[in-house]
Protein backbone atom coordinates (compact mmCIF):
# COMPACT_ATOMS: atom_id res chain seq x y z
CA UNK A 1 0.00 0.00 0.00
CA UNK A 2 1.37 3.39 -1.00
CA UNK A 3 1.65 5.82 1.92
CA UNK A 4 1.80 9.60 2.01
CA UNK A 5 5.49 9.22 2.92
CA UNK A 6 6.05 7.39 -0.38
CA UNK A 7 4.32 10.18 -2.29
CA UNK A 8 6.33 12.85 -0.45
CA UNK A 9 9.57 11.03 -1.23
CA UNK A 10 8.69 10.64 -4.92
CA UNK A 11 7.73 14.33 -5.18
CA UNK A 12 10.82 15.36 -3.17
CA UNK A 13 8.83 17.28 -0.56
CA UNK A 14 8.17 16.89 3.16
CA UNK A 15 5.29 14.76 4.41
CA UNK A 16 3.50 17.87 5.68
CA UNK A 17 3.83 19.54 2.26
CA UNK A 18 2.50 16.41 0.55
CA UNK A 19 -0.40 16.33 3.02
CA UNK A 20 -1.30 19.98 2.33
CA UNK A 21 -1.04 19.41 -1.43
CA UNK A 22 -3.28 16.33 -1.35
CA UNK A 23 -5.90 17.87 0.94
CA UNK A 24 -5.94 21.21 -0.88
CA UNK A 25 -5.36 23.08 2.36
CA UNK A 26 -2.71 25.59 3.30
CA UNK A 27 -0.44 27.67 1.14
CA UNK A 28 1.66 25.73 -1.33
CA UNK A 29 3.27 26.66 -4.64
CA UNK A 30 1.27 25.58 -7.67
CA UNK A 31 4.22 23.68 -9.18
CA UNK A 32 4.78 21.79 -5.92
CA UNK A 33 1.09 20.91 -5.64
CA UNK A 34 1.04 19.61 -9.22
CA UNK A 35 4.20 17.54 -8.61
CA UNK A 36 2.67 15.94 -5.49
CA UNK A 37 -0.65 15.22 -7.22
CA UNK A 38 1.13 13.70 -10.22
CA UNK A 39 3.24 11.46 -7.95
CA UNK A 40 0.13 10.39 -6.02
CA UNK A 41 -1.74 9.52 -9.21
CA UNK A 42 1.21 7.69 -10.74
CA UNK A 43 1.71 5.62 -7.57
CA UNK A 44 -2.02 4.92 -7.09
CA UNK A 45 -2.11 6.64 -3.70
CA UNK A 46 -5.39 6.39 -1.76
CA UNK A 47 -5.85 8.46 1.42
CA UNK A 48 -6.21 6.52 4.66
CA UNK A 49 -9.58 7.58 6.09
CA UNK A 50 -8.76 6.12 9.51
CA UNK A 51 -5.57 8.18 9.71
CA UNK A 52 -7.52 11.28 8.64
CA UNK A 53 -10.08 10.69 11.38
CA UNK A 54 -7.30 10.53 13.97
CA UNK A 55 -6.52 14.12 13.04
CA UNK A 56 -10.14 15.13 13.54
CA UNK A 57 -11.06 15.10 9.87
CA UNK A 58 -14.36 13.49 8.83
CA UNK A 59 -14.01 10.00 7.35
CA UNK A 60 -17.56 9.67 6.00
CA UNK A 61 -18.30 6.43 7.82
CA UNK A 62 -21.76 5.85 9.23
CA UNK A 63 -23.32 2.71 10.60
CA UNK A 64 -26.82 1.31 10.76
CA UNK A 65 -27.85 -0.96 13.60
CA UNK A 66 -30.90 -3.15 13.03
CA UNK A 67 -32.34 -5.90 15.23
CA UNK A 68 -32.88 -8.46 12.47
CA UNK A 69 -31.79 -7.99 8.87
CA UNK A 70 -34.10 -10.82 7.74
CA UNK A 71 -37.16 -8.76 8.71
CA UNK A 72 -38.46 -7.40 5.35
CA UNK A 73 -38.93 -3.93 6.87
CA UNK A 74 -35.20 -3.30 7.42
CA UNK A 75 -33.56 -4.03 4.03
CA UNK A 76 -35.68 -1.37 2.33
CA UNK A 77 -34.58 1.21 4.92
CA UNK A 78 -30.95 0.16 4.65
CA UNK A 79 -31.19 0.36 0.85
CA UNK A 80 -32.33 3.99 1.08
CA UNK A 81 -29.62 4.84 3.59
CA UNK A 82 -26.98 3.22 1.35
CA UNK A 83 -28.19 5.17 -1.66
CA UNK A 84 -27.84 8.50 0.17
CA UNK A 85 -24.45 7.52 1.63
CA UNK A 86 -23.21 6.70 -1.88
CA UNK A 87 -24.41 10.08 -3.17
CA UNK A 88 -22.22 11.78 -0.56
CA UNK A 89 -19.17 9.53 -0.89
CA UNK A 90 -19.78 7.91 2.48
CA UNK A 91 -19.20 4.40 3.70
CA UNK A 92 -22.06 2.50 5.30
CA UNK A 93 -21.52 -0.27 7.83
CA UNK A 94 -24.36 -2.62 8.74
CA UNK A 95 -24.61 -4.16 12.21
CA UNK A 96 -27.24 -6.58 13.46
CA UNK A 97 -28.14 -6.57 17.17
CA UNK A 98 -30.48 -9.59 17.21
CA UNK A 99 -32.75 -7.49 19.45
CA UNK A 100 -30.22 -7.71 22.28
CA UNK A 101 -29.38 -4.40 24.05
CA UNK A 102 -25.97 -5.74 25.17
CA UNK A 103 -25.06 -6.54 21.55
CA UNK A 104 -26.13 -3.04 20.52
CA UNK A 105 -23.84 -1.55 23.18
CA UNK A 106 -20.90 -3.71 22.05
CA UNK A 107 -21.46 -2.77 18.41
CA UNK A 108 -21.53 0.95 19.29
CA UNK A 109 -18.30 0.62 21.28
CA UNK A 110 -16.62 -1.12 18.32
CA UNK A 111 -17.87 1.56 15.93
CA UNK A 112 -16.63 4.33 18.21
CA UNK A 113 -13.16 2.74 18.34
CA UNK A 114 -13.17 2.66 14.54
CA UNK A 115 -13.95 6.40 14.49
CA UNK A 116 -17.39 5.96 12.96
CA UNK A 117 -18.86 9.47 12.59
CA UNK A 118 -22.51 8.67 13.02
CA UNK A 119 -24.96 5.88 13.62
CA UNK A 120 -28.57 5.21 12.73
CA UNK A 121 -30.35 3.04 15.28
CA UNK A 122 -33.41 1.36 13.78
CA UNK A 123 -35.66 0.01 16.53
CA UNK A 124 -32.69 -0.45 18.83
CA UNK A 125 -33.31 -0.17 22.54
CA UNK A 126 -31.04 0.17 25.53
CA UNK A 127 -30.62 2.25 28.63
CA UNK A 128 -27.82 4.40 29.92
CA UNK A 129 -25.23 1.91 28.62
CA UNK A 130 -26.43 2.59 25.06
CA UNK A 131 -26.15 6.35 25.59
CA UNK A 132 -22.67 5.96 27.04
CA UNK A 133 -21.52 3.75 24.14
CA UNK A 134 -22.82 6.29 21.59
CA UNK A 135 -21.03 9.21 23.24
CA UNK A 136 -19.17 11.35 20.72
CA UNK A 137 -21.09 10.06 17.70
CA UNK A 138 -23.98 11.67 15.89
CA UNK A 139 -27.03 9.50 16.48
CA UNK A 140 -30.36 9.21 14.68
CA UNK A 141 -32.96 6.81 16.03
CA UNK A 142 -35.71 5.39 13.83
CA UNK A 143 -39.09 4.28 15.18
CA UNK A 144 -37.90 4.12 18.77
CA UNK A 145 -36.81 6.99 20.97
CA UNK A 146 -33.57 6.47 22.87
CA UNK A 147 -32.37 8.46 25.85
CA UNK A 148 -29.22 9.63 24.08
CA UNK A 149 -28.36 13.32 24.47
CA UNK A 150 -28.44 15.12 21.11
CA UNK A 151 -29.97 12.18 19.23
CA UNK A 152 -32.48 12.93 16.50
CA UNK A 153 -35.65 10.88 16.09
CA UNK A 154 -37.29 9.81 12.83
CA UNK A 155 -40.64 8.22 13.52
CA UNK A 156 -43.43 6.92 11.35
CA UNK A 157 -47.04 7.73 12.10
CA UNK A 158 -48.27 4.14 11.98
CA UNK A 159 -51.82 5.06 12.99
CA UNK A 160 -52.13 7.53 10.11
CA UNK A 161 -50.56 4.96 7.77
CA UNK A 162 -53.22 2.47 8.82
CA UNK A 163 -55.95 5.03 8.23
CA UNK A 164 -54.62 5.82 4.75
CA UNK A 165 -54.39 2.13 3.86
CA UNK A 166 -57.97 1.57 5.03
CA UNK A 167 -59.25 4.58 3.09
CA UNK A 168 -57.46 3.31 -0.02
CA UNK A 169 -59.10 -0.12 0.26
CA UNK A 170 -62.51 1.44 0.83
CA UNK A 171 -62.04 3.70 -2.23
CA UNK A 172 -61.54 0.60 -4.35
CA UNK A 173 -64.75 -0.99 -3.12
CA UNK A 174 -63.36 -3.47 -0.64
CA UNK A 175 -66.11 -2.54 1.83
CA UNK A 176 -69.01 -3.01 -0.58
CA UNK A 177 -71.80 -5.04 1.02
CA UNK A 178 -69.56 -5.67 4.02
CA UNK A 179 -70.48 -3.06 6.64
CA UNK A 180 -69.10 -5.16 9.52
CA UNK A 181 -65.70 -5.36 7.81
CA UNK A 182 -65.71 -1.64 7.08
CA UNK A 183 -66.36 -0.93 10.75
CA UNK A 184 -63.57 -3.31 11.75
CA UNK A 185 -61.10 -1.74 9.30
CA UNK A 186 -61.96 1.78 10.40
CA UNK A 187 -61.48 0.77 14.03
CA UNK A 188 -58.11 -0.79 13.17
CA UNK A 189 -59.21 -4.37 13.94
CA UNK A 190 -57.46 -6.88 11.68
CA UNK A 191 -59.76 -8.90 9.43
CA UNK A 192 -59.44 -10.57 6.05
CA UNK A 193 -61.02 -8.81 3.09
CATH number for the domain formed by residue range(s) 61-154: 3.40.50.2300
> Which pLDDT does position 192 carry in this prediction?
47
Q: Where are the domains of the chain?
A: 4-47, 61-154, 158-187
**pLDDT at residue number 93:** 93
Higher pLDDT, 191 or 89: 89
Model pLDDT for residues 59-72, shown as the tens digit of each residue: 678 999 999 999 98
106-159 confidence digits (pLDDT tens): 999 999 888 888 999 988 877 788 888 888 888 998 887 777 888 888 887 878
pLDDT at 189 (0 to 100)? 55
Residue 182 confidence class, pLDDT cut points 50, 70, 90: low
pLDDT in tens, 15-43: 888 888 887 777 888 888 889 889 888 88
DSSP letter string, the chain: ---HHHHHHHHTS-HHHHHHHHHT-S---HHHHHHHHHHHHHHT----HHHHHHTT----EEEEEES-TTSTHHHHHHHHHHHHHHHTT-EEEEEE-TT-HHHHHHHHHHHHHTT--EEEEES----HHHHHHTTTSEEEEESS----TT-EEE---HHHHHHHHHHHHHHTTTTTT-HHHHHHHHHT-----
pTM: 0.60
What pLDDT score does 193 carry? 41
Amino acid sequence: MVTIRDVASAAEVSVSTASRALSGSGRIALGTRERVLAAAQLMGYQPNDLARSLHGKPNGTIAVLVPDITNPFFPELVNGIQWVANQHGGLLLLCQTFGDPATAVNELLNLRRKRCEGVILIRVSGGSELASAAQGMRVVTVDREADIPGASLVCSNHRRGGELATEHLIEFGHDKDRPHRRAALTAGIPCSL
